[in-house]
Amino acid sequence: MRHIIAVIDTDIRFALKLSDFLSKEDRIPFKAVAYTSFQMYSNESSSMETVAFITDIDNVDECIDTGLPVVLLSDDAMVESKYTGSSELFCSIFKFCGVHIIVDELLGFFSGNNSFGLTAVNKNTKVYGVYSPINRCGRTSLSVAFHSYFCSQENSSLLISFDEYDSLFSVLRKENSRDLSDVFYGYKTGDLNFAKLGECISRVEDLNIVLPARYNEDLFYLSDNELTKFMNDILLANLFEVIVIDFGSIGRRSMQILDMCEKIFCPVIGENNSVEMTKISEFKSLLGRNGYAEIIHKIYEMRLPKEDISADIFNFTRLKRREYFSQVSKTAEGL
């Protein structure tokens, strides 16, 4: 189910313009959807999970009654005073200020609100990992393909790459791109919140991706215990329904994070008695020796079609026509 911010205003042109701007804002990890009334929202939003309302005065009471965070866009100070202080889940913003000011005010409200920080109490997020002890086995392509599948099913999904190199993600990196280095730094300094996480997510089509760390050494910026706590906090925030982790080379180091996964997809190359399969067997033995034998049962080995999908990996229209993606879809449907 897709998570949204509902923008409700009787002036549909205003609602559409604001929702379009919010959906393109890198610091907000949700899409905004426009409605002309709360009734219209009620009729059309059954397939989506609403995280907050941005509304005009005509619909504010119904929005407040939902118990979700509400941002009132108002030009009447007397109206504002009626609601101010009524709830920590409510704030008011002057409707006709610049849209950038509205966004900054929203982020300030969201970041200070427990519903949007990294401190929520429900753990509904499912985690799927992609890992193999074999290098150059197609792990990153497989992680993007699974992430693409979950996004295509209207799931709010995030892909986090712990890889040492950009590889396929190099086409997404821009001069000012934020990445895992920034996420780790923000977490280490206690400065990671709703807005900061959103700034570190790169978007292409419907995909949400935290790019690999800029420098290999940044993967060790957090200790093993801190890394585990970081993932637990991300899960507890419940910002996404699905998180896909491209484990890169940290799989051996982070068995506790592997243990968080519902499934760990392992791309397989080579014959049954090959060196590659021997490495996978050795990794399973390592899990057993370290007290993580239960992870072995989560590993799902996948032999994928031998086709180069790199040119289509970030173009879902073309990717979904590939036999490779068809196999990934069938696997994901059975989860």
Q: How confident is the model at residue 2 (pLDDT cuts 50, 70, 90)?
A: low
Interatomic CA distance for residues 28 and 22, integer angstroms: 7
212/159 Cα distance (integer angstroms)? 10
- What pLDDT does residue 123 have? 46
Confidence of residue 241 (pLDDT cuts 50, 70, 90): confident
Window from 33-47, 56-70, 100-114, 277-291 with minimum mean pLDDT? 100-114
What does the DSSP 8-state code read for residue 86? S
How far apart are the C-alpha atoms of 225 and 230, rounded to whole Å?
A: 9
Classify domain 126-333 at the CATH superfamily level: P-loop containing nucleotide triphosphate hydrolases (3.40.50.300)
The 3-state DSSP class for residue 216 equals helix
Give the domain ranges of the chain.
Answer: 2-111, 126-333
Q: How far is CA 334 from CA 171, 263, 330, in A?
A: 31, 11, 7
Q: DSSP alpha helices (H): ranges in 189-292?
A: 194-199, 224-237, 255-260, 275-289
Write down the pLDDT at residue 116.
47
- pLDDT given for residue 143 in this prediction: 96
Amino acid identity of residue 308, one-letter, is D
In this prediction, residues 259-278 reach a mean pLDDT of 85
pLDDT at position 139, please?
92
* Topology alike, domains 2-111 and 126-333: yes
Nearest to 243 by CA among 223, 267, 260: 260
The HSE-up count of residue 96 (CA atoms within 13 Å, CB side) is: 4
pLDDT at position 80 over 70: no
User: Is residue 308 pLDDT above 70, yes or no?
Assistant: yes
Q: Alpha helices of 112-172 — where are they, by DSSP H?
A: 139-152
Average pLDDT, the chain: 85
Place of tokens 């509304």: 55
The answer to whether 246 and 140 have CB atoms below 8 angstroms apart is: yes
- pLDDT at residue 44 is higher than 90: no
Nearest-angstrom CA–CA distance, 247 and 254: 9
What is the total residue count of the chain?
Answer: 335
Q: Strand, helix or coil at 159?
A: strand
Task: Read off the pLDDT of residues 130-186 as tens digits, 9 standing for 90 and up.
Answer: 999 888 888 999 999 999 999 998 788 899 999 988 889 999 999 889 999 999 999
User: Mean pLDDT, to the nearest integer, of 83-107?
Assistant: 74
Fold classification of 2-111 is Rossmann fold (3.40.50)
